Amino acid sequence: MSTAQADRELASTEHLHKLAPVLGEQWQMSWTFTALVGWFAALFLLINHTPLALDHTWHHANLGGQIVQHGALPTGLLNVPLSEGMPLIAESWLFDSAVFLVASDLGPNAISAMIAILASVAVWLWCGLIYRASASIGFTFFSAIVLGLGWTTQYASLQPQLPGMLIFAAVIWVILPAKPFGKLAIDKEIEANDAISSWRWLAVAILFATWSNVDGSFWLGLFVLLGIALGKAFAGCRQAGLRVGLLSSDTQRWVLLLQFSFLATLLNPLHIRLWQYAVTDKLDALVHGVWHGAGLYMPTVTGLTIVGLLGYVAWSLLKSKRNIEPAEIVVTVLLAGLVAVSSAKVYWCLPVLLMIAAGHRNPVAPTGTKAEEKPSADADESPPLRFAGTLLCLLFIWCAFALSTVSAPVLGGVARSQDRMFHADVPRDVSQYLRNRATREPQEFGWTDAKTPLTFGPADWSDWLLWDGGSDTRVFASSQIRQLPQRTQFDYHKVFHGQPGWDRILDRYAVVTLVIDKARQPKLSSEVMRHGDWQLVLETSRSLILERVSRAGGES
Partner 1 sequence: MKGNESINRRTALFAFSQSTLLPVGVFAAIRARASKTARLQQLPELRTQPIQVKPTHDLPAVVSDDQLIQTLSRLRLPRTDSPAKVNHVDHALRMWGHKVVFEDDNVMDGAELLSILVDDHALRSNWGKDVRPLLLETPEGIRVRTQEGNATASHVDHTLATLTEIGVPLTKKIRTRSGEFQVKDVLNRALRTFSLNQPEYEWTALALGLYADGPISFSTTDGQVIDFDLLTKRLMRESLGHGVCYGGHRLFTLAMLMRIDSDEHRIFSDTTRLRVDSHLAAATQRLYRTQHREGFWDRAWPGYKVPSKQDLWTQGARLVATGHALEWWAMVADERLLPPRETIVRAGQWLVREIETLQDSSVKKNYTFLTHAGRALSLWRAELPADSWTRLAPTLSEQKRMPVSAPTSEPASLWQDERGFLLSIEFIFLATLTIIGLLVGFAVFRDAMVQELGDTAASVASLSQTFQYQGETEAGTFGNGVSAIDYDASVAGSSYADAADFGEAVLDASGQAPVCILIEASSVENEG
Helix spans in 176-241 (H): 188-192, 198-214, 218-240
> From residue 231 to residue 270, what is the string marking binding to partner 1 with x (rule CB under 8 A)?
----------------x-x--x--xx--x-----------
Binder among 191, 194, 419, 507 for partner 1 (CB under 8 A): 507
The residue among 283 and 371 lying less far from partner 1, judged by its C-beta, is 283
Q: Are 80 and 475 in contact (CB under 8 A)?
A: yes
Within 434-453, which residues bind partner 1 (CB under 8 A)?
A: 443, 445-449, 452
To which H or E segment does residue 312 belong?
helix 301-319
Phi/psi at 284 (5° precision)? -60, -40
Burial of 242 (C-beta count, 10 Å sphere; 0-12/13-18/19+): exposed
At closest approach, how far in Å is the CB of 472 from partner 1? 17
Burial of 67 (C-beta count, 10 Å sphere; 0-12/13-18/19+): buried
Region from 31-39, 129-137, 167-175, 504-512 binding partner 1, contact rule CB under 8 A: 504-512
Q: Are 30 and 389 in contact (CB under 8 A)?
A: yes
- Counting contacts by CB under 8 A, is residue 86 touching partner 1? yes
Region from 25-33, 194-202, 280-288, 467-475 binding partner 1, contact rule CB under 8 A: 280-288
Residues in the chain, how many?
556
Handedness of CA 153, 344, 131, 321 (dihedral sign): negative
What's the per-residue H, E or C state across 99-135? Answer: HHHHHHHCCHHHHHHHHHHHHHHHHHHHHHHHHHHHC
The residue among 75 and 432 lying less far from partner 1, judged by its C-beta, is 75
Residue 359, C-beta contacts closer than 8 angstroms, at least 6 positions apart: 133, 134, 181, 182, 184, 185, 322, 328
- Counting contacts by CB under 8 A, is residue 84 touching partner 1? yes
The residue among 85 and 299 lying less far from partner 1, judged by its C-beta, is 85
- Tell me how far apart the alpha carbons of residues 144 and 164 are, in angstroms, rounded to a whole number: 18
Q: Are 155 and 42 in contact (CB under 8 A)?
A: no
The residue among 175 and 226 lying less far from partner 1, judged by its C-beta, is 226
- Counting contacts by CB under 8 A, is residue 506 touching partner 1? no
Binder among 21, 71, 85, 299 for partner 1 (CB under 8 A): 85
The residue among 263 and 371 lying less far from partner 1, judged by its C-beta, is 263
At closest approach, how far in Å is the CB of 86 from partner 1? 5
Region from 17-25, 146-154, 300-308, 481-489 binding partner 1, contact rule CB under 8 A: 481-489
The residue among 75 and 407 lying less far from partner 1, judged by its C-beta, is 75
Enumerate binding residues for partner 1 (CB under 8 A): 81-82, 84-87, 247, 249, 252, 255-256, 259, 275-276, 279-281, 283, 443, 445-449, 452, 485-488, 491, 507-510, 551-556
